[in-house]
Chains A and B, each alone.
Chain A
């Protein structure tokens, strides 16, 4: 009995020793070259090996029957095969390139990305606050990129011959309806939102995805951070105001609150201004973000912002000896919520909604204009990853706008007018990777506009080919529709959408710490709104017969650390554009489109001073204006625009920063255009007045202090 059992046991153990299978083979890549260092193993076991320099591997296993062989290596797709273990012998396995690695092709015609996740970073998150001319405004930093025109008195983004309102801004994929604070003439505006809320910025100067519509020229996508890095209180003291922020984290939640108060009165006391400020610019704003991260990596974000702005100023005007009074009160409420989750087999869903209430009271001379805009956006987007090489996204969105305005002329009856509009849009888009070097994105967008009772279809396509280790070519085409602006819709509704077609060719070469890109484009404008009065009003005759074009070349070069501790970039844009729109009698180059734009930004870190010094220089060729003393339309040019800005950030310690910035340090007298007297003088000559900035120079001194909870605990521990 005992003997038998022992014998049985020995045979079993013998048997299992004998059943050793050798697994061997060779790993090659798509070009049949051996892959060294790949990991080859049987899933769920300890048995495995690495491939040698010839791509060959060999190991033994005691496993039997059906097993899963896995071959994985960084930057290749993982190979998985389930079969009888005996069949894994002398097989040659070809690994497919992983198309999602950093060195794979990127579809990028028209687009600049900033942020940690971007494959190619044109701007870094810190650039927004360390670019000398930007003055802490995220839009200011983007104005140093090619494709934008220098229109210094406006502050918004004028892209490739387009007007500022042809650029739309989105936060977490949801539209922002009133992203800029209102200002009087010739005083540049700023973005309403704090740059530190965003972890990624994508700026597209054309040819963008079918996901985005109602923008003729450009989109700016801002993604908010998912999780703040730490609990902290931030204080800022500036020559023009104060700010307080606080971030709290608990469990899977976080809450950030920022408030700021800006008052230009003290600043205007000590610096000269061309305007007479009765009530200097004053604004109060607050924003709050609540974020919740669910267990399954789903995210909920609620964002709310409120701001109040007021000012009263008398601006010189050649037609009025006492100047013109401009008074403004603006209340703005913005609410944005977004939710993202995954479900099923590699599906993702992102939904969101935004709501804006913007209320503006303007006093112009003795007339009053009160407007109230309620707008909302609802969106749902689905994304399915069929494989790493084929992805599909689709979605629908709905925009609602209720706009009301009342014009109260002095000693006259009031006028009430406005419009209600809704737009329903759907899009579908696919990303296809043919290989690591060739990829395409094709999409289509359909829109139905309630007010115009119009249905439009916009095809979009982009293709990129990586021609070498560092170089790639991209092409993009798209058709873009946008409803006529509120300025027209409030007086007239029988319109079609304005539209553009973009054709873009791009070459990019990226090396470590170095980017070069050159992009050529052609843009055709159609169905632009025309009218036959000085400004649009009830008596204007409107039509959609306008058209135009823009073509040009944009060049960007950035290099970091080639010169020690120095980072710099250079942008140049060449722009040729003409349009026949608004009340233009003939096609002409508009005032906002200088032909040459150049900017240079440099930053140098001086370790011994713990300071970052920054410099930025902007140049633009002369801008067109109408000179009534000469025949023709938009027949004269201003002198060129030059502005040199400097800044310095001194790190007192890890938590305290002293900041100094001055715009146009040389005090160059820049001229944006001219206003002419309505009637000629005695000699039959029209006198003129230059449109100039409120002040030639502008400076800010600030002190930023971050107090974080863990820092406090550190200091206690160290005592």
Chain B
């Protein structure tokens, strides 16, 4: 009889395997993303987000894919559609996880795509917003390497524009890399620190 219950327990556990389904789905989406199949990746994240309405991560990644693929788009109507979708999913993510520094810096990234597209049209209103967003993020998570790097990069952009030295930001980037290497991710699929990219940014800062 014990055996039976044991077997039933296994069946029940695997039957209620939403966790593994989620893991499988997320892994598949990351795989698609890595392969450059952005549409498929974004759509899979979107489906996961709809099926897991209380989890901020899939919505966060749906937005992330759309935002990162928005850089360099020349057609305003296309860009707008993409970023509106990204905004919609960032809002979903925010409603599931308020005051989350990862979401806040992604919002700043979204604004940056608009600014990069047309600085005259969006620069005045959005750059102030971004200053505010980074200030809020760093207050919430002073030792988050992604926040430190994002903020330093944003401010470096301004310093370059105004012909000032970018040196002061090198130490921040180094600090981010250090923290990033040490960082232990506790939640599965939590955003990871991209050490390689950070080192590229560091080179720019020193160069």
Contact = CB atoms under 8 A, between A and B. Distances in A.
Contact of A714 (B120, B121, B155): B155
A130 B123 CA distance: 14
Given A651-B162, A710-B131, A713-B135, A102 B81 contact: yes
A103 B122 contact: no
A654 B162 CA distance: 7
Given A74-B81, A101-B77, A651-B162, A708 B46 contact: no
A638 interface: no
B163 interface: yes
Interface stretch (B2-10, B177-185, B196-204): B2-10
Interface in B122-139: 122-129, 131-132, 134-135, 138
A199 B80 contact: no
Interface in A704-719: 708-711, 713-714, 717-718
Contacts, number: 110
Contacts of A653: 162, 164
Contacts of A74: 78, 81-82, 85
Contacts of B35: none
Contact of B76 (A512, A567, A651): A512
Nearest to A36: B39
Interface stretch (A5-13, A131-139, A456-464): A5-13
B164 A708 contact: no
Nearest to B46: A39
Given A2-B3, A75-B81, A46 B48 contact: yes
A116 B4 contact: no
A46 B48 CA distance: 6
A103 B126 CA distance: 23
B139 to A, nearest CB: 8
Contact of B51 (A46, A102, A199): A46
B39 A37 contact: yes
Interface in B66-101: 74-78, 80-82, 85
Contact of A567 (B7, B120, B135, B155): B120
B151 to A, nearest CB: 8
A710 B158 CA distance: 15
A610 to B, nearest CB: 6
Contacts of A714: 135, 155
Q: Which of A9, A39, A46, A713 has the most CB of B within 10 A?
A: A46
A391 B81 CA distance: 21
Contacts of A275: none
A229 interface: yes
Interface in B42-65: 43-44, 46-48, 50-51
Interface in A97-113: 101-103
A565 B85 CA distance: 31
Interface in B5-41: 7-8, 11, 21, 25, 39-40
B168 interface: yes
A124 interface: yes
Nearest to A44: B51
A45 B47 contact: yes
A165 interface: no
A125 B124 contact: yes
Contacts of B120: 124, 126, 560, 567
B135 A116 contact: no
Nearest to B127: A229
B7 A230 contact: no
Contact of A5 (B4, B80, B124, B161): B4
A229 B132 contact: yes
A403 B51 CA distance: 63
A512 B74 contact: yes
Contact of A610 (B47, B50, B163): B163
Contacts of B85: 74
Contacts of B138: 717
Contacts of A717: 138, 172
Interface string B131-173: 1101100100000000000000001001001111000110010
Nearest to B126: A229
A46 B21 contact: yes
A572 B134 CA distance: 45
Contacts of A709: 135
Contact of A710 (B47, B74, B132): B132
Interface string A644-668: 0000000101100000000000000
Interface in A167-191: none
A220 to B, nearest CB: 20
Nearest to B43: A39
Interface in A67-118: 74-75, 101-103, 116
Contacts of B155: 714
A43 B39 contact: no
B168 A718 contact: yes
A37 B169 CA distance: 41
Interface string A40-61: 0101111110100000000000
A124 B122 CA distance: 9
A563 B179 CA distance: 45
A121 interface: yes
Given A101-B81, A653-B162, A711-B131, A125 B125 contact: yes
Nearest to B121: A124
A9 B7 contact: yes
A48 B132 contact: no
Contacts of A512: 74-76
Contact of B131 (A50, A116, A230): A230
A654 B158 contact: yes
Q: Which of B78, B122, B127, B135 has the most CB of A within 10 A?
A: B135
A537 B125 CA distance: 50
Nearest to B158: A654
A41 B43 contact: yes
Contacts of A1: 4
Contacts of A230: 128-129, 131-132, 135
Given A2-B4, A9-B7, A124-B120, A229 B43 contact: no
Interface string B101-135: 00000000000000000001111111111011011
Contacts of A229: 125-129, 131-132
Q: Which of B74, B124, B129 has the most CB of A within 10 A?
A: B124
B44 A48 contact: yes
B39 A9 contact: no
B11 A48 contact: no
A423 B3 CA distance: 86
Contact of B125 (A6, A116, A610, A711): A116
Interface in A267-300: none
A141 to B, nearest CB: 14
A466 to B, nearest CB: 12
B77 A48 contact: no
A121 B121 CA distance: 9
Contacts of A101: 77, 80-81
A16 to B, nearest CB: 9
Nearest to B38: A37
Contacts of B163: 610
27 contacts: A2-B3, A2-B4, A5-B8, A9-B11, A37-B39, A39-B39, A41-B43, A43-B50, A45-B51, A46-B47, A46-B48, A50-B40, A74-B82, A101-B77, A102-B77, A102-B80, A116-B121, A230-B129, A512-B76, A567-B120, A651-B162, A653-B164, A708-B131, A709-B135, A710-B132, A710-B135, A711-B131
Interface of B: 1, 3-4, 7-8, 11, 21, 25, 39-40, 43-44, 46-48, 50-51, 74-78, 80-82, 85, 120-129, 131-132, 134-135, 138, 155, 158, 161-164, 168-169, 172
Given A75-B77, A121-B121, A713-B135, 18 more contacts: A2-B1, A6-B4, A41-B43, A46-B47, A46-B48, A102-B80, A124-B120, A124-B121, A228-B128, A229-B125, A229-B129, A229-B131, A231-B132, A709-B135, A710-B131, A710-B135, A718-B168, A718-B169
Closest A-B pairs by Cβ, 8 of them: A229-B128, A710-B135, A102-B77, A39-B43, A103-B77, A230-B132, A74-B81, A229-B129
